[in-house]
Chain A
Amino acid sequence: RKEVEQDPGPFNVPEGATVAFNCTYSNSASQSFFWYRQDCRKEPKLLMSVYSSGNEDGRFTAQLNRASQYISLLIRDSKLSDSATYLCVVLRSASKIIFGSGTRLSIRP
């Protein structure tokens, strides 16, 4: 079993829809959590950090559930430009940085 697991998708949703996906992690000692975005054949870019209290950045909301060991990403009013692969990143310790294999999202007009 992978330490960080994501549904690979693809999630195919119409423009304007709300979409959410989760990432589960197996090690309860994990410390920090992030969502990165990766466009096709491009480098990953930080989308947002994930805090226990939940955090919002415009149309994006991230949540952390330590009891159930998952993080989530909610995208409201999706845009065509949101089409990308979303990578979940978990820091178990300073030197243990685990990337999920990503969830592919495709927004259709």
Chain B
Amino acid sequence: NAGVTQTPKFQVLKTGQSMTLQCAQDMNHNSMYWYRQDPGMGLRLIYYSASEGTTDKGEVPNGYNVSRLNKREFSLRLESAAPSQTSVYFCASSEAFGGSQPQHFGDGTRLSIL
């Protein structure tokens, strides 16, 4: 049982390049999330998808776009990468949205923007 799978695990980009981070979950969860984690800071929510067909902005959405492709997959796109987007990105899923639902995380994508 893979849980939440993120690809790629590492990526180096040049400023201005674009890329898409992929996330897939096999737990039949309804809700999915994208976070970034920077040193000395907690995880910050970028975007979330409460259910298939919906997406909403989180705390730090600027510079990102998302697509909930189907129930399993939720991708994060950087259209024009900037050094400030250097971070570790985590995708997560939960059975339902909000409340007391625990989140299951992928093992992260380490992204460096030069």
Residue of B56, B98, B108 with most partner-chain A CB within 10 A: B98
Known A-B contacts A100-B42, A101-B41; A43 and B48 likewise in contact (beta carbons under 8 Å): no
Q: How far is the CA of A45 from the CA of B56 in the complex (A)?
A: 24
Known A-B contacts A43-B107, A94-B50; A49 and B100 likewise in contact (beta carbons under 8 Å): yes
Is the beta-carbon distance between A49 and B102 smaller than 8 angstroms? yes
How many pairs, one residue from A and one from B, have CB atoms within 8 Å of each other in the complex? 51
Could you tell me the distance in whole angstroms from the C-beta of A27 to the nearest C-beta in chain B? 14
Is the beta-carbon distance between A101 and B42 smaller than 8 angstroms? yes
Known A-B contacts A43-B90, A43-B106, A43-B108; A99 and B100 likewise in contact (beta carbons under 8 Å): no
Could you say which interface size class chain A belongs to? Answer: 20 to 34
- With CB as the reference atom, state the residue of chain A lying closest to B39: A101
Is the beta-carbon distance between B40 and A101 smaller than 8 angstroms? yes
Is the beta-carbon distance between B98 and A45 smaller than 8 angstroms? no
Q: Which of A32-73 contact B (CB under 8 A)?
A: 32, 34, 42-46, 49
Q: Which of A9-23 contact B (CB under 8 A)?
A: none
A28 lies within 8 A of chain B by Cβ: no
A98 lies within 8 A of chain B by Cβ: yes
Residue of A42, A91, A100, A101 with most partner-chain B CB within 10 A: A101
Q: Which B residues are CB-close (under 8 A) to A94? A: 50, 97-99
Q: Which A residues are CB-close (under 8 A) to B41? A: 101
Q: Supply 12 A–B pairs (Cβ within 8 Å), ascending by A.
A: A4-B42, A8-B40, A43-B107, A46-B102, A49-B102, A87-B42, A94-B98, A95-B48, A99-B35, A100-B42, A101-B40, A101-B42
Residues of A that sit less than 8 Å from B by CB? 4, 8, 31-32, 34, 42-46, 49, 87, 91, 93-95, 97-102
